[in-house]
Amino acid sequence: MEKAIVVVESPAKARTINKYLGRGFKVVASMGHVRDLPKSKLGVDIEAGFVPEYEAIPTRKKVIKTLRDAARGAGHVYIATDPDREGEAIGWHLAKELGAGKRPVSRLMFNEITKMAVRAALDHPIEIDQRMVDAQQARRVLDRLVGYKLSPLLWDKVRRGLSAGRVQSVALKLVCDREEEIDRFESEEYWHITVRLAGRVPPDFDARLVKQGKRALKVGSGAAAKAVVADLEAADFVVDAVVTRERKRHAPPPFITSKLQQAARFPVKRTMQIAQQLYEGIELPREGSVGLITYMRTDSTRVSEQSLGEVRQHIEAAFGAEYLPPRANRHRRGKDAQDAHEAIRPTSAERTPESLRPHLKPEQYYLYRLIWNRFVASQMLPATFDDTTVDIAAGDYVLRAKGSVPKFSGWLAVYGGADAEAAPPAAGGDEEAATAVLPPLAAGERLTRRGIKPEQKFTQPPPRFSEATLVKELEENGIGRPSTYASIIGVLQMREYAEKAEGRFKPTRLGRLVTRLLTENFDDIIQVAYTREMEEQLDRIEEGKADYEGTVGGFYRNFSVDLEKAARSMPDIKANGLPSGEKCDKCGAAMVMKVGKFGMFLACTGYPECRNTREVDKAEESVTTGDETCDNCGRPMVVKRGRFGQFLACTGYPACKTTRKLIATPQGVAAVREDRPLDEPCPKCGQPLVVKHGRYGEFTACSDSRKCRYIKRDSTGVACPSDGGDIVVRKSRRGEFYGCENYPKCEFTLWNRPVPEPCPTCGAPFLVEKVTKRHGRQLLCHKDDCEYARSAELAVPAAS
């Protein structure tokens, strides 16, 4: 019997599927795309109806040969690429390369890599969906037309090496528009006035001033706040009304791609990499390689009937029948959602995060737990609270206090009860619940004033986008698709159009310049609404409601007209520069701004007689180095940019040629200081220890770092439960965390500081210190299955 071959994208996926199939099958990996448009030319025949000219990717030629050899003796070829447009296109290219006319080629479609799903797909093979292929091809060709037609224009007018993209340029415009909002923002002063009050019985509580008479009160200055405080000091405080109502908090739906990217603590690209690992298969002791989650690129909240039945059984067994709704919860799909795939969920609710923890890496466990918790919670009853609002009259003023008492934990039980700190935001845009504890109060009750606290505040500008909030903005505006968000964000940084400052995106001068030029000359294609309409048109191609040639042709006709106009009207910055308003300090002529290989700079218009140039410090936008002075001559240091990036240079150049390296830190960019020697030997090699300056701040290490890699860590005085090593303080871009000193041999880590005190409930060797808005500073047992907690005021100090 001839073997059949099954082609997937990755070796990990191949290993998992191979275990589910018999001897008559051979599973091979294509390593992703095998064909693409050529890099050296446009690769699209515009005159012939936008026919793409595909060629084998150079790095995949050996893979193609291997696949052809495997297919030569096979009686049937099965394409089992990912179940989305990109996967369908990869499958179409594979079918072309493996000779669809010589042997039967079928498509296997499954949403999860489990034995049942793979065997079911094999029992019901389908044809490659040409409409999905056309939709992917349309996206690829549109992106190529914009990139290969628009980028050369930027090369000609601004600087060689720049790029523009159909979607990336719109994403950059969002970042630039937000920066303009921040630039225009004018902060306003306002005051919060809070009064500490006491009733007949404890506890004391806080009430905030909200009205004067029947009008909402806004206190806008210190003088006004002082006058209000004086009035309140002379007033009597009487309970005017007490209103208690039950509030339900419904569980959010299971994850779709964008919501998972927003919820995970990793960058978007890393989140998708870890999710891919969980989808393709993890080696488990009794089951072998098993896919733990369903396909992770989806915008549908739909869940299969089989998985609904399984999770409902799990909820009843693990939490009790009182947590189970009479019927399965059905979550409303988004307006533009493609319903081809299920939501992201565990392939089996019975594989709890804790049961898999020994077999997962920490980041895999974290993401799987996030997905599992969200899915199980989505099928549970709402959490209920008694919300109490108390209005208090104080003369002509009205103060308000709010409190909330949990009645039924509902779906929050998955996250540890009614403590919403660990749970995701409420579904449906519920307002944040007040968490103050109020004493019993009744209308007409007189209250005792304990104190008045006026607080000065200032309105804040809209925040810059983080990766999570930029994904949310792209999603809400219909720009791109779940599978493209990571690449969009990556391109903005790679092209140096935007950079991260304290974890948030800030456009560079170059990014703002490119956006301005594109907005002035291609206002339609860079607009959010137009890009959203194009995404909808691609969806219509997939649904069979639009055709490939008509869609691409309609776009190109408008685009080519704008392209011709821009070639004539776009300013020639490369030749003439942009006015800067500055004068040359050597000849007095006007300076213009130009774009060079290492960024933007000022150049004298008197060239070639005057060749004076001056750097436009990138530091003005994103780099904070403080008032740095030269260690040799005492002159100020300035930021410059060379072929290896930014550095500090003495302003006394060429007389003083002192430079210092700059490194990226979580707070921006910092200058590297010289190592500071200490009178302390290295415990490993005996050489002196020195204080070094790294990307996460100062640290102490061996001075002979080429031979000895010893780094001194602050001890917590707690032994690692995995191997007995000391748990020490470590640093990352997200701040301090705690890990075993024997890393990388031991990967035990904690985000909360361990305290050397055994748990009085379960006897665990140490507790952890945690700070939340609800409970303040607490000591908790580090074991997830132990509920011991107490105020951290009684904490035993950690060893230093």
DSSP tag of 477 = T
Of 20, 78, 295, 497, which residue is the catalytic one? Answer: 295
> Are residues 195 and 229 in contact, defined by beta-carbon separation less than 8 angstroms?
no
Buried b vs exposed e over 320-349: b needs ≥16 C-beta within 10 Å? eeebbeeeebebebbeeebebbbbbbbbbb
**Cα distance from N-terminal residue to C-terminal residue, the chain:** 70
Tell me how far apart the alpha carbons of residues 38 and 577 are, in angstroms, rounded to a whole number: 34
Buried b vs exposed e over 241-261: b needs ≥16 C-beta within 10 Å? ebeeeebebbbbbbbbbbbbb
Tell me how far apart the alpha carbons of residues 587 and 606 are, in angstroms, rounded to a whole number: 8
DSSP tag of 422 = G
DSSP tag of 482 = G
Element (H, E) at 621: helix 619-622
User: Across-strand partners of 777?
Assistant: 771
Q: How far is residue 517 CA from its own chain's centroid?
A: 29
Tell me how far apart the alpha carbons of residues 742 and 751 are, in angstroms, rounded to a whole number: 17
The string of DSSP codes covering 226-291 is HHHHHHHHT--EEEEEEEEEEEEEPPPPPB-HHHHHHHSSS-HHHHHHHHHHHHH-EEETTTEEE-
User: Among 510, 523, 795, which Cα is nearest to 641's?
Assistant: 510
User: Across-strand partners of 649?
Assistant: 638, 659
Asked if 415 is an active-site residue, the reply is no
The string of DSSP codes covering 499-537 is EEETTEEEE-HHHHHHHHHHHHH-TTTTSHHHHHHHHHH
Q: Catalytic positions, please?
A: 295
